[in-house]
């Protein structure tokens, strides 16, 4: 068993004694409600921010024993030891009414599927069914001998099951109010311990009723016959005190008096996971839209057990039967109910004295109620044939497959939501706290609501150079903003009819007074705003992209092809992300982007926005260099590149970093991601204290290779990408006719760094005996010197055959290079620039000469004759001076080789050259490049040649160093 443990957090003071506590999720799992029978208060926690203090409802005068939420989560009911049942609005928590009173403490309450009936029971002898609309008592069900501790409405609305403290289960027909089945002594007798309450539960499809059994097991009873079907028996050593079906009915969580929770696969009748706790767990609730189980123990400590069902198995929320019906019908019926009182109004007067079942008016009323309930059922069944199909499906597996698909479809529409529009760099509203409307690398716009209007401040990070902007009072209630060097733009959504959506632009510095402007939109709502150089963009609810100049001229109106998600501006470019379609059943958002060039009126880029499965877009914008970038809720940063016809590169993954931190992206540049680090439950930073940006290195999500040099591999890919980007920019600049010198230098630096990285990779490849990979890497080296360095490196590493191979690669390279310039016309004399090839050759010599790395790299240009033999001899002599004999021999061979290669190249290109002239022509060729005849002292007169040569020499020194390392 895995040694995981769940940390529980105190929700209610326990004062040492065990008490019955309850826990509930709301429909969308946005809130977690807890109560304790030792505590007067009900706590509403935010499961995302458990450290925040919960919202507390204190209306009861004694401990709260029971909680129930109406199925659409708009109404909260609580039962208490103080004998009352109260109703509240939810999630606001405003107290609405005391819906009923008992003469003894209440132990359990439950809503029916439509939310129209609330059942409450406790130490009193009857179960009261209360009409939630007018608070009238619809029926009192009497039959239990002990106090009623568990109530469960059948999901199909026909039955109510109840269990009492002595272990009797009664199944009531709601129609008639009669007890259909009375099963005595099937559940454990909990005696007088009030912290243990017998529970029972219908499976979500309503086919089975689960009741804790007498043999530390859970017994399943058939819906119609109340016959025992099967039982879940396993490792509980004491009776089960609580059980809960997963939303899809595939799993069940049971809590026993033995302080453990078991998760069962109901179909397999097998427990699949368990967890031990310090105290007894008295209540559990499955998260309605995720794989998590909320638990609370008898000491009032609660926690959420994430992925209670092992992730390898089907999620507990997959194929939820008729969840949709719960949502839509619940809402719908609630609306109907509000008109209903007229129908039941006459009866509600009798509500108080209608306890007696025999009273005719109440019966009449009940009839109505029950027919009404039947309507609900019909409704349910007609709207969702799936419920029926479920019935059949329980017999045949084939059908259940179909059924599963159907279920999936229904959950899609119910649970999955298309992402709402957002501003990059904005934080959500927090009551009473300042929040960011916009945060970027330049500055921030913050707002706080105060007495009905907001207070907006604009701060620049660089206080020295940024303009000072006075704080402003905002009567519009702006919720969207964007900021750049020149100005800020604000917009508010429309609230009601009077408050129209407004767009306002405030330039920071202008020569004219009053150059602030605003636009109002009728029947239209601004969803997203963006700013660029001299333009303002707003995307509205009608899917219009409206572009204004910074003077307020309405310049363009463009219709977009989907609801907007976000937009971002950078200089002339505007990027807009829209929904491409409804999200996929797998909960993936389908987004696409377009980049507009506002000043040219073009659309240079468009495509889809990739996201990590199950995530949504949280940030979208441009890097400092203008690369389009996105960040999703799973923490993956992607940058758009033109490679492969335009694709997104995942450049950062938060999951690789520390898990207890969340990163809130503010921007990025070529090498770093700028973000604000938030401690784990927080997803976004507060305004105060001023957040400090953290720089994180970009890294590709590389697979773990057998090389064990991930950092190098990562550097390699990154450098390659940079080089490509720079080259691309050089091309752009060159196309625009601009000077590219600085970029050339940059490219050269990157090339150098890349070669250095590759050399190190080659070294680690050689150490790891990955010879083929090393050869591939050598081919990727961009500078000739680096190749030589690589040869030197492998020689030092005593890998002669690799060195050989590298040599041939180098030769090939030289060959390719020489064949290109040789096509130039030959105009120079034989004496011309005889030194250049010498230099090259001698350099080559030194590079392969691993034993003497300190040998001068540039030998003095020898004033020798240019005859090839002589040159070779000279080299040989030189070599003999420094090296030992063996090395010398090899070197000679290589030199000869090179000479041949060169000469071959020459022969190919220049046909009318005789054999004797070979080498000299090779030399001439170099001179030919500059096309300047007869200056033997001008080593290389063209600038280009010179610089490349010296740089190459410099480079080689560097390479030497790395090679030595």
Partner 1 sequence: MAGQSDPYISLFSAQEVEFLGEDEMVEIVPNMRMDPLNLICGDFGPFRPQIATQVPLWLAVALKKRGKCTIRPPEWMSVDKLTQVLEAERNSLREFQPLPFHYVEIARLLSDHARDDIPDVYMVRSLIEDIRNVRFHKVETGLETIHERTHAVKLKNLSAMEANIVRPFVVRALQAFYKHDSPEMIPQPDTTAIRRRQVADRGPKRDRRY
Q: How distant, in Å, are the alpha carbons of 205, 397, 399, 896, 913 from that of 394?
A: 10, 7, 9, 85, 92
CB of 464 to partner 1, least distance (A): 4
Pick the stretch among 450-458, 460-468, 804-812, 952-960 that binds partner 1 (CB under 8 A).
460-468
Q: Does the bond joining 91 to the residue before it have cis omega, within 30 degrees of 0?
A: yes
Tell me how far apart the alpha carbons of residues 346 and 149 are, in angstroms, rounded to a whole number: 32
Residue closer to partner 1 by CB (options 695, 738) is 695
Question: Among 259, 368, 461, 872, which residue sits at the site for partner 1 (rule: CB under 8 A)?
Answer: 461
CB of 301 to partner 1, least distance (A): 25
Query: Residue 885, interface with partner 1 (CB under 8 A)?
Result: no
Residue closer to partner 1 by CB (options 619, 648) is 619
Q: Which of 246, 239, 301, 303 is nearest to 273 (CA)?
A: 246
Question: Among 452, 464, 737, 863, which residue sits at the site for partner 1 (rule: CB under 8 A)?
Answer: 464
| Count of C-beta atoms within a 10 Å radius of residue 645 | 6
Tell me how far apart the alpha carbons of residues 694 and 841 are, in angstroms, rounded to a whole number: 50
Query: Residue 692, interface with partner 1 (CB under 8 A)?
Result: yes
Residue closer to partner 1 by CB (options 368, 461) is 461
Residue closer to partner 1 by CB (options 668, 895) is 668
CB of 676 to partner 1, least distance (A): 9
CB of 936 to partner 1, least distance (A): 44
Pick the stretch among 56-64, 85-93, 202-210, 688-696 that binds partner 1 (CB under 8 A).
688-696
Determine contact, residues 325/331, Cβ cutoff 8 Å: no
Tell me how far apart the alpha carbons of residues 348 and 814 are, in angstroms, rounded to a whole number: 100
Residue closer to partner 1 by CB (options 557, 695) is 695
Collapsing DSSP states into helix, strand and coil, what is residue 114? coil
Question: Among 487, 691, 859, 927, which residue sits at the site for partner 1 (rule: CB under 8 A)?
Answer: 691
Q: Which residues contact 39 (CB under 8 A, 6 or more apart)?
A: 12, 13, 19, 63, 64, 300
Residues β-bridged to residue 270: 265
Q: Which residues contact 346 (CB under 8 A, 6 or more apart)?
A: none
Q: Which of residues 642-681 bind partner 1 (CB under 8 A)?
A: 674
Tokens representing 22 are 């309850």
Pick the stretch among 47-55, 461-469, 598-606, 833-841 that binds partner 1 (CB under 8 A).
461-469
Please give the size of the binding site for partner 1, defined by CB under 8 A: 13
* Site track for partner 1 across 415-454, x = CB under 8 A: ----------------------------------------
552 conformational bin, left if phi > 0, alpha if psi -120 to 50, beta if neither: left
CB of 442 to partner 1, least distance (A): 9
135 conformational bin, left if phi > 0, alpha if psi -120 to 50, beta if neither: left
Determine contact, residues 191/136, Cβ cutoff 8 Å: no
Residue closer to partner 1 by CB (options 297, 459) is 459
Pick the stretch among 338-346, 456-464, 798-806, 902-910 that binds partner 1 (CB under 8 A).
456-464
CB of 438 to partner 1, least distance (A): 14
Tokens representing 849 are 């000469």
CB of 471 to partner 1, least distance (A): 18
Residue closer to partner 1 by CB (options 381, 678) is 678
Quote the crossing angle between the two packed helices 360-383 and 341-348, to the nearest 10°: 150
CB of 441 to partner 1, least distance (A): 8
Query: Residue 742, interface with partner 1 (CB under 8 A)?
Result: no
User: What does R_g of the chain's alpha carbons equal in angstroms?
Assistant: 39
Tell me how far apart the alpha carbons of residues 365 and 139 are, in angstroms, rounded to a whole number: 9
Strand order in the sheet with 64-69: 64-69, 75-80, 84-89, 95-101
Please give the distance of CA 663 from its chain centroid, rounded to a whole number. 11
CB of 626 to partner 1, least distance (A): 18
Residue closer to partner 1 by CB (options 465, 877) is 465
Query: Residue 695, interface with partner 1 (CB under 8 A)?
Result: yes
Query: Residue 465, interface with partner 1 (CB under 8 A)?
Result: yes
Query: Residue 693, interface with partner 1 (CB under 8 A)?
Result: yes
CB of 444 to partner 1, least distance (A): 9
Tell me how far apart the alpha carbons of residues 278 and 301 are, in angstroms, rounded to a whole number: 10
Query: Residue 237, interface with partner 1 (CB under 8 A)?
Result: no
Find the Cα–Cα–Cα–Cα dihedral 534, 539, 540, 541, rounded to 10°: 180
Collapsing DSSP states into helix, strand and coil, what is residue 538? strand
CB of 511 to partner 1, least distance (A): 26
Tell me how far apart the alpha carbons of residues 527 and 579 are, in angstroms, rounded to a whole number: 13
Query: Residue 746, interface with partner 1 (CB under 8 A)?
Result: no
Planar angle of CA 560, 566, 568, nearest 5 degrees: 100
CB of 439 to partner 1, least distance (A): 10
Question: Among 462, 497, 522, 660, which residue sits at the site for partner 1 (rule: CB under 8 A)?
Answer: 462
CB of 567 to partner 1, least distance (A): 24
Tell me how far apart the alpha carbons of residues 168 and 182 are, in angstroms, rounded to a whole number: 7
Query: Residue 688, interface with partner 1 (CB under 8 A)?
Result: no
Pick the stretch among 151-159, 222-230, 687-695, 750-758 that binds partner 1 (CB under 8 A).
687-695
Pick the stretch among 49-57, 126-134, 689-697, 773-781 that binds partner 1 (CB under 8 A).
689-697
CB of 488 to partner 1, least distance (A): 17
Q: Which of 663, 640, 664 is nearest to 650 (CA)?
A: 640
CB of 690 to partner 1, least distance (A): 8
Residue closer to partner 1 by CB (options 512, 692) is 692
Residue closer to partner 1 by CB (options 693, 724) is 693
Question: Among 460, 508, 517, 556, which residue sits at the site for partner 1 (rule: CB under 8 A)?
Answer: 460
Q: Which of 56, 97, 104 is nearest to 80 (CA)?
A: 104
Tokens representing 334 are 């609630």
DSSP 480-527: EEEE-SSEEEEEE--BTTTB-EEEEEEESS-SSTT--EEEEESS--EE
Pick the stretch among 155-163, 492-500, 690-698, 750-758 that binds partner 1 (CB under 8 A).
690-698
Pick the stretch among 127-135, 457-465, 539-547, 798-806 that binds partner 1 (CB under 8 A).
457-465
Tell me how far apart the alpha carbons of residues 178 and 86 are, in angstroms, rounded to a whole number: 27
Residue closer to partner 1 by CB (options 672, 890) is 672
Question: Among 463, 473, 513, 741, which residue sits at the site for partner 1 (rule: CB under 8 A)?
Answer: 463
The burial of 720, by beta-carbon neighbours within 10 Å (0-12 exposed, 13-18 middle, 19 or more buried), is given as middle
Residue closer to partner 1 by CB (options 13, 690) is 690
Tell me how far apart the alpha carbons of residues 131 and 851 are, in angstroms, rounded to a whole number: 97
The burial of 360, by beta-carbon neighbours within 10 Å (0-12 exposed, 13-18 middle, 19 or more buried), is given as exposed
CB of 637 to partner 1, least distance (A): 18
Residue closer to partner 1 by CB (options 463, 943) is 463
For 135, half-sphere exposure in the C-beta direction (CA atoms, 13 angstrom radius) is 14
Backbone dihedral angles phi then psi of residue 145, each to the nearest 5 degrees: -90, -40
Pick the stretch among 165-173, 174-182, 693-701, 930-938 that binds partner 1 (CB under 8 A).
693-701
CB of 692 to partner 1, least distance (A): 5
Which spans of this chain sit near partner 1 (rule: CB under 8 A)?
Answer: 460-465, 674, 690-695
């Amino acid at each position: 068993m895995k040694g995981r443990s769940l940390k529980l957090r105190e929700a209610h003071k326990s004062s040492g004694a065990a008490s019955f506590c309850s826990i509930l999720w709301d429909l969308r799992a946005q809130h977690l409600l807890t109560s304790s029978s030792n505590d007067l208060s009900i706590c509403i926690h935010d499961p995302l921010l458990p450290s925040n203090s919960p919202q507390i409802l204190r209306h009861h005068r004694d401990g709260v024993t029971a909680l129930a939420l109406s199925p659409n989560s708009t109404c909260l009911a609580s039962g208490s030891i103080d004998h009352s049942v109260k109703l509240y609005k939810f999630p606001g928590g405003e107290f609405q009414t005391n819906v009923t009173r008992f003469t003894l403490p209440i132990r359990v309450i439950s809503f029916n599927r439509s939310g129209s009936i609330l059942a409450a029971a406790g130490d009193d002898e009857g179960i009261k069914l209360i009409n939630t609309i007018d608070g009238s008592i619809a029926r009192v069900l009497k039959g239990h001998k002990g106090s009623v501790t568990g109530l469960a409405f059948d999901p199909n609305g026909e039955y109510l099951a109840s269990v009492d403290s002595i272990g009797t289960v009664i199944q009531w027909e709601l129609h008639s109010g009669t007890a259909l089945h009375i099963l005595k002594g099937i559940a454990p007798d909990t005696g007088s311990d009030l912290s243990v309450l017998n529970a029972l539960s219908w499976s979500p499809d309503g086919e089975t009723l689960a009741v804790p059994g007498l043999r530390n097991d859970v017994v399943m009873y058939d819906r119609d016959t109340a016959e025992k079907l099967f039982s879940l028996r396993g490792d509980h050593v004491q009776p089960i005190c609580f059980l809960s079906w997963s939303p899809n009915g595939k799993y069940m969580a049971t809590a026993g008096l033995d302080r453990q929770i078991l998760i069962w696969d109901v179909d397999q009748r097998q427990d699949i996971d368990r967890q031990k706790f310090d105290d007894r767990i008295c209540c559990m609730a499955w998260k309605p839209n995720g794989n998590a189980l909320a638990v609370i123990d008898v000491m009032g400590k609660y926690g959420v057990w994430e992925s209670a069902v092992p992730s390898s198995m089907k999620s507990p929320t997959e194929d939820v039967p008729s969840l949709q019906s719960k949502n839509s019908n619940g809402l719908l019926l609630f609306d109907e109910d509000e008109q209903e009182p007229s129908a039941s109004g006459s009866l509600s007067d009798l509500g108080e004295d209608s306890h007696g079942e025999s009273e005719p008016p109440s019966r009449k009323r009940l009839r109505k109620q029950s027919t009404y309930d039947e309507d609900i059922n019909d409704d349910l069944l007609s709207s969702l044939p799936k419920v029926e199909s479920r019935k059949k499906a329980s017999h045949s597996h084939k059908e259940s497959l179909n059924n599963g698909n159907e279920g999936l479809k229904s959950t899609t529409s119910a649970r999955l939501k298309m992402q709402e529009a957002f501003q990059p760099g904005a934080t959500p509203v927090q009551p009473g706290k300042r929040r960011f409307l916009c945060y970027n690398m330049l500055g921030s716009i913050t707002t706080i609501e105060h007495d009905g209007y907001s207070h907006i401040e604009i701060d620049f990070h660089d206080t020295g150079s940024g303009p000072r902007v006075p704080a402003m009072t905002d009567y519009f209630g702006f919720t969207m903003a964007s900021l750049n060097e020149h100005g800020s733009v604000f917009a508010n959504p429309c609230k009601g009819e009077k408050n129209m959506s407004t767009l306002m632009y405030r330039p920071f510095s202008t020569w004219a007074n009053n150059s602030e402007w605003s636009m109002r939109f009728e029947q239209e709502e601004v969803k997203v705003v963006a700013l660029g150089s001299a333009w303002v963009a707003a995307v509205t609810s009608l899917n219009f992209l409206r572009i204004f100049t910074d003077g307020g001229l309405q310049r363009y109106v463009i219709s977009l092809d989907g609801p907007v998600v976000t937009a971002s501006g950078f200089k002339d470019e505007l990027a807009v992300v829209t929904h491409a379609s409804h999200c996929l059943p797998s909960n993936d958002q389908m987004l696409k982007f377009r980049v507009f060039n506002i000043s040219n009126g073009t659309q240079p880029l468009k495509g889809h926005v990739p996201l990590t499965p199950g995530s949504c877009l949280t940030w979208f914008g441009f890097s400092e260099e203008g690369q389009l970038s996105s960040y999703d809720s799973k923490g993956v940063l992607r940058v758009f590149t033109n490679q492969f016809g335009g694709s997104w590169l995942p450049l950062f993954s938060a999951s690789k970093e520390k898990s207890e931190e969340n990163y809130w992206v503010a921007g990025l540049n070529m090498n770093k991601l700028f973000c604000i680090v938030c401690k784990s439950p927080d997803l976004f930073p507060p305004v105060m204290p001023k957040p400090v940006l953290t720089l994180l290195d970009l890294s590709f999500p590389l697979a773990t290779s057998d090389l064990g040099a991930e950092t190098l591999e990562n550097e390699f890919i990154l450098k390659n990408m940079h080089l490509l980007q720079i080259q691309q920019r050089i091309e752009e600049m060159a196309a625009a006719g601009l000077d590219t010198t600085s970029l050339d230098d940059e490219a050269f630096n990157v090339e150098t760094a890349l070669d250095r990285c590759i050399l190190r990779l080659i070294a680690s490849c050689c150490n790891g005996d990955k010879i083929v990979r090393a050869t591939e890497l050598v081919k990727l080296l961009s500078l000739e010197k680096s190749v030589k360095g690589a040869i030197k490196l492998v020689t030092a590493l005593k890998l002669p055959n690799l060195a050989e191979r590298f040599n041939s690669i180098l030769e090939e390279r030289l060959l390719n290079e020489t064949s290109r310039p040789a096509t130039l016309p030959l105009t120079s004399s034989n004496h011309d620039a005889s030194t250049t090839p010498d230099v090259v050759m001698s350099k080559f010599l030194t590079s392969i000469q691993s034993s003497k790395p300190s040998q001068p790299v540039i030998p003095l240009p020898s004033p020798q004759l240019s005859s090839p033999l002589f040159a070779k001899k000279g080299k040989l002599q030189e070599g003999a001076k420094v090296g030992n004999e063996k090395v010398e021999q090899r070197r000679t061979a290589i030199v000869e080789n090179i000479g041949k290669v060169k000469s071959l190249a020459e022969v190919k290109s220049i046909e009318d050259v005789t054999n004797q002239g070979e080498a000299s022509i090779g030399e001439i060729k170099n001179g030919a490049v500059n096309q300047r005849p007869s200056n033997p002292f001008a080593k290389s007169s063209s600038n280009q040649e010179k610089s490349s040569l010296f740089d190459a020499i410099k480079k080689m020194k560097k390479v030497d160093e790395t090679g030595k390392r």
